[in-house]
A = this chain, B = another copy of it.
Amino acid sequence: MLPGELVDFSHGDVDSEAFPPTPGSLQIFMDGVRSGGVQAYTEYRGREDIRAYLAECLGKFTGRAIEKADELIITPGTQGALFLAMAANISSGDKVAIVCPDYFANRRIAKFLGAEVTDIKIDYLDVECGAGIDLTQLEEAFKAGCKSFVFSNPNNPTGVIYSSEEIGEIAGLSERYGVTVIVDQLYSRLVYKGYDYTHLRETSLSPSKLITIMGPSKTESLSGYRLGIAIGPCEIIERMEKLQAIVSLRAPGYCQAVLRTWFAEPSEWISKRIMGHQQIRDDITRILRSVDGLRVRDPEGGSYVFPKLPTLGVPLDLFVKALRHQCNVIVTPGTEFDPMESGSIRLNFSQNRQAAIDATKRIASLIGRYRLGLLDTNRTAAPRRPC
């Protein structure tokens, strides 16, 4: 046992000692409830004046004006936006290109819709700049008939940001082959010092072929309100709304009011939040790098780090269980993001700083115990397995 306070790296800590929700969010929610039916029963796509407000903020943020509130839909979380965007564009039998590793739901939604997935690799550990996307593979997928491409930027789980050149190439190829791009930019407000972020909306890619997804669940810690948005051409937003009407009706009416705090945070609040995450990132990547044989890329945005562990004497799922039971640490196995990533774990380091440092040290120690070399040395009659 390596005792210590429970740290759940599978999601961020929104408690007050870590990264609490946007100031004023609860007050605005309460105002929403008090305003009654107008906030409870919004249009299925979300309340119009809130969509108009968001269209203005997000147009500026993403580098291309959003002409109409009808180019935007409010959804139950970014997850809801992703599901609707994919379901409104992908039918059974369609081919869809999906980055590997990437957010676990991308391929599960494709599978639910009966689509055929083509993996697009990112070589995130071996490039110094950008995500390391295999553009040849991407073009071949498009040539072979993929009409949709889904990816997250910053990438979840690795935290790498696609370079401006990569985004330009993705735009060019998608335009050339008539591919619809669904880009999950959930973490695009949380970009670390020294890195640039390029929105696909800034490129030459036709807006009629692009759906951009965001939400205030992460950087702003508003996950408990289940809010997300998608920006796209009116006809796709309309299809998404029709689907939303049968899947969940609308994003929770009262919660939608909280979106009025988005992009209206107190000045310096976002920059302090980024700085707070950057410190923890630096702390824990330093600890991880001290582990012999471990490879890790510094996250450039978002709050995930995705170390590739040295070869262990136990399978990944058992190591993850051992972390939980022996170290009081919860992490997400890499196989959630790519079936081939059986040597990696994902940590969401949006946590109390000291707790995250201590927990990462316990992870480092447990790797030491379970690494193949040491296991060989210590082997006794029965193979050592976590309890």
Contact = CB atoms under 8 A, between A and B. Distances in A.
Nearest to A257: B224
A245 interface: yes
A164 B245 CA distance: 32
Contact of A255 (B32, B112, B245, B252): B252
Given A224-B40, A224-B253, A247 B13 contact: no
B30 A248 contact: no
A105 B246 CA distance: 6
A77 interface: yes
Interface string A59-83: 0000000000000000111011001
A364 to B, nearest CB: 25
Oligomer: number of copies: 2
Interface string A24-49: 00100110110011011100000000
Nearest to A114: B92
A8 to B, nearest CB: 8
Nearest to A253: B224
A108 interface: yes
A224 B254 contact: yes
Given A243-B112, A253-B226, A248 B76 contact: yes
A77 B249 contact: yes
Interface string A180-222: 0000000000000000000000000000000000000000000
Contact of A252 (B11, B14, B226): B226
Interface of A: 8, 11-16, 20-21, 26, 29-30, 32-33, 36-37, 39-41, 75-77, 79-80, 83, 87, 92, 105, 108-109, 112, 114, 223-226, 243, 245-255
Contacts of A36: 14-16, 20
Contacts of A14: 36-37, 40-41
Contacts of A108: 245-246
A78 to B, nearest CB: 9
A246 B82 CA distance: 9
Contacts of A249: 76-77, 79-80, 226
Contacts of A109: 246
Contacts of A247: 79-80, 83, 247-248
A269 B229 CA distance: 37
Q: Which of A26, A33, A80, A87 has the most CB of B within 10 A?
A: A33
